[in-house]
Structure 1
Amino acid sequence: MWPSDMTKDYQNSPMVTSDQLRTRRERPRRVKMLTRDFIEDSLYNPSYGYFSKQAVIFTPGEPFEFNNLQDEPEFSKLLGERYTQFEDKLDEKHPNESRQLWHTPTELFRPYYGEAIARYLIENYKLLQYPYNDLIIYEMGAGNGTLMLNILDYIRDTEPSVYDRTKFKIIEISSSLAKLQQQHLMQSLDSKGHHSKVEIINKSIFEWDQLVPSPCYFLAMEVFDNFAHDSIRYDPVTEEPLQGTVFIDKKGDFYEFYEPHIDPVASRFLRVRHAATGGSYSHPLNSSKILRKLKAIMPFAPNLSQPEYIPTRLMQFFDVLGKYFPGHRLLTSDFHDLPDTIRGVNAPVVQTRYQRRTVPVSTPFVHQGYFDILFPTDFNVMELMYRAITGKLTRVLTHEEFLRRWAYVEETQTKNGENPLLTWYKNASVLTTV
């Protein structure tokens, strides 16, 4: 009827980090860890992490011929059929009721989406660096490598002089995805021609320790949503922050705790955010202090605010860019809003797939590796923090605004004038360094 009091076990258990767990082959027990370390371990552990072992990226096969489709419903129907065919083929070799399958705009709108990004890169490179510097492109979290191939194909076919100066480097934390990218690079005669242009670096961006002084472009497409976050709750009367930790018992069950001690990474995030935004950001304590005090004396009133999830890993990524890539220009796209999030401010969607159906849950503390944990990005706050840390200027556009500027939108228009490239991903934004 009542949950066990695990306070004593929690206090007597060692604190571990995701870095310490990277060499482990089994999920940890009888330990405690910060929320961000639990999320990082769940998603990226080499032995049991979601992206390392479970996730499969959907590839629809031949590009969709949008001009021959009647409307968006026909595109959705055809996409559903290709999804089924794709998974049927996988089940013929390895049946799996809990396969984690997901898609990206790069795959759905191949090659048009990648070509739009290639035009952005070519235009800015020719304006700012050509012919004095090479076109150096870094991509973090490149999935199947499709975006890389679409960009290189387009530059080779339309701008041979720029292609001669192009170098493409992928930074990929997942060993299995790094191998897949290498395979796709050598799969066809067209892609084999890019081999001398490409370097695949199998490591985490957070392990980067090499200065890159040359001007370069850094692509991070749908990456921020899977960056680990810390969980913070506040005393509604004193406004004191408390940092979330999770205790994993001997059976593998999870228990959430909040400590008044804030570790240096989360503490720095709170300071930098406040300074960069002037104190203007969403917060669990945005209501008046008098109202909070009145609520606190009510019977059964909670003694802490709802949780706030802060993107500490994102701040650390900006630190890496500022320190090791001083000449970078960032191009990133991600979701500014997500449906079906769990409770809290800037809270994630936590979900898995079972028997080809999506199953959402209400907590991030779930069996490691079998659940996707993805967060919305507050671009208003993130843009100001990026500027404060790197000293660079930026522009934020909606997904549609960016594609109207750089895509040949007539290539993805259906017969009745609808355009899935523009209308899908309405909940995404694009940030660029200017």
Structure 2
Amino acid sequence: MSGEYEKYPMVTADQLKSRRERPRRVKMLTRDFIEDSLYNPSYGYFSKQVVIFTPGEPFKFNAMQDEQEFHQLLGRRYTEFEDKLDEKQPNDTRQLWHTPTELFRPYYGEAIARYLVVNYKLSQYPYHDLIIYEMGAGNGTLMLNILDYIRDTDPSVYDRTKFKIIEISSNLAKLQAQQLLRNADSKGHASKVEIINKSVFEWSQVVPEPCYFLAMEVFDNFAHDAIRYDPVTEEPLQGTVLIDSNGDFYDFYVPTIDPVASRYLRVRHAATAGRYPHPLSQSRILRKLRTSLPFSPNLSDPEYIPTRLMQFFDVLEKYFPAHRLVTSDFHVLPDTIKGINAPVVQTRYQRRTVPVSTPYVHQGYFDILFPTDFHVMELMYRAITGKLTNALSHEEFLRRWAYVEETETKNGENPLLSWYKNASVLTTV
């Protein structure tokens, strides 16, 4: 395909936003392919495919015997939820997923609210309003749980509270607005809430006031670049993908690193003092011996670098200079594809999860989900924004801020603490 690679034009995800059909006879960087697959307004995974599971009434954990009972009840509610959807419109390829916000409603959201109120009172009240931005707010459940808690427990802080959602998906932005008007209780928050239907990367207005910026389970779907290294010279090569006239994918690695990926590599090296996971972990002598063997690969395994995450930190530094970040995400994931910091690539078919071994898949039908290296990410965030941070495991954060007795089963097990063991929480100090 090298001849086609030379002929086809290079395109970006931004250039494809207005397209209704998946592109053909083009080439693009890996990060642009992932961005287009997940977020294209016409065929992207989050634009068209995703349904977020809502379990109905909050689970009564104190009435359950143990975690096994919770697991069984959750399975039944999952089936009932999807049965109702199929009654309206059967769909073998429905993409359905859940979040801790939905599973542990309202306790998870109340823990976040408690963290926000305590820190707001310590550092900003009464001189500033409590301004909360949430990026990628899903069904709007976290917003409602936070506002309910503040209204019920601290009316003086509630009077000063403003909640702004930044939502890239038009469908989810509409759903969030509907949730806000669902009943009299939620309607009471309407004057506090603004839903901004745009990508955070299109943000262009400086917010000088102190604010809290929530980014819960969004880093995992930020686009990454793929980098492989020459095992002898250690030179990096950047991943691109060619899409032919039939819509088939071919990945190429080129020695010219674009400015965004090049800057990431420089900032990471400086921020970590050169200490981070790397595909070339073997000594140079061993690598030379390996490359001399028959059929040995001429490049290292790929590493996936979170260039979009770096650009998000740039947005925070430039447009939200007085922000304090609250973010949670997965530090490790099962069933990842080959490589350093590699993603899980999966779809759902007939209610079963189907993993695949490459990110170059039919755009919009597959979730491409990356783990976050919190050690590297924390150091890069500090280097770009100049702010100090605190990283905790998901369990440690919730032990500090949740009323854990509310999610304890009769035998003393606690799903709020034991689930999401593979997640971490990072906050700005």
Which bracket does the TM-score occupy, shorter chain normalised?
over 0.9
* 3-state DSSP of counterpart to 1:397: strand
Tell me the equivalent position of 1:327: 322
Q: 2:364 aligns with which of 361, 366, 369?
A: 369
Written as runs of structure 1 = structure 2, the 5 A alignment for 1:7-18 is 7-18=2-13
Tell me the equivalent position of 1:3: none
1:83 Cα deviation (Å)? 0.1
* 3-state DSSP of counterpart to 2:316: helix
Tell me the equivalent position of 1:166: 161
1:373 Cα deviation (Å)? 0.2
Tell me the equivalent position of 2:272: 277
Tell me the equivalent position of 2:313: 318
User: Structure 2 unaligned runs (5+)?
Assistant: none
Tell me the distance in 2 between the aligned counterparts of 1:290 and 1:201: 54
Give a deviation string over 1:42-92, Cα, whole Å, max 9, x none: 000000000000000000000000000000000000000000000000000
Give a deviation string over 1:252-293, Cα, whole Å, max 9, x none: 000000000000000000000000000000000011111111
Q: 2:23 aligns with which of 13, 21, 28?
A: 28
Please say if 1:145 is aligned against 2:148.
no
Tell me the distance in 1 between the aligned counterparts of 2:359 and 2:290: 28
Please say if 1:55 is aligned against 2:50.
yes
With normalisation by structure 2, the TM-score equals 1.00
Q: 1:395 aligns with which of 375, 379, 390?
A: 390
Please say if 1:259 is aligned against 2:251.
no
Tell me the distance in 1 between the aligned counterparts of 2:125 and 2:223: 37
Tell me the equivalent position of 1:229: 224
1:244 Cα deviation (Å)? 0.2
Written as runs of structure 1 = structure 2, the 5 A alignment for 1:345-384 is 345-384=340-379
* 3-state DSSP of counterpart to 2:238: strand
Tell me the equivalent position of 2:97: 102
Tell me the distance in 1 between the aligned counterparts of 2:281 and 2:273: 14
Tell me the equivalent position of 2:415: 420
Please say if 1:185 is aligned against 2:180.
yes
1:382 Cα deviation (Å)? 0.1
* 3-state DSSP of counterpart to 1:73: helix
1:95 Cα deviation (Å)? 0.3
Please say if 1:302 is aligned against 2:297.
yes
1:296 Cα deviation (Å)? 1.0
Which residue identity is paired with 1:406? Answer: W
Tell me the equivalent position of 1:93: 88
Tell me the distance in 2 between the aligned counterparts of 1:309 and 1:23: 27
Tell me the distance in 2 between the aligned counterparts of 1:284 and 1:376: 16
Please say if 1:239 is aligned against 2:234.
yes
1:301 Cα deviation (Å)? 1.2
User: Structure 1 unaligned runs (5+)?
Assistant: 1-5
Q: For this pair of structures, how many residues does the alignment match?
A: 429
Which residue identity is paired with 2:348? Answer: R
1:420 Cα deviation (Å)? 0.1
Please say if 1:215 is aligned against 2:210.
yes
Runs of 4+, deviation exceeding 4 Å: none
Tell me the equivalent position of 1:73: 68
1:299 Cα deviation (Å)? 1.1
Tell me the equivalent position of 1:291: 286
Which residue identity is paired with 2:321? Answer: P
1:386 Cα deviation (Å)? 0.1
Q: 1:206 aligns with which of 201, 205, 212?
A: 201
1:400 Cα deviation (Å)? 0.1
Which residue identity is paired with 2:117? Answer: I
Tell me the equivalent position of 1:386: 381
Tell me the equivalent position of 2:149: 154
1:133 Cα deviation (Å)? 0.1
Tell me the distance in 2 between the aligned counterparts of 1:287 and 1:346: 18
Which residue identity is paired with 1:328? Answer: H
Q: Percent identity?
A: 83
The Cα RMSD (Å) is 0.3
* 3-state DSSP of counterpart to 1:191: helix
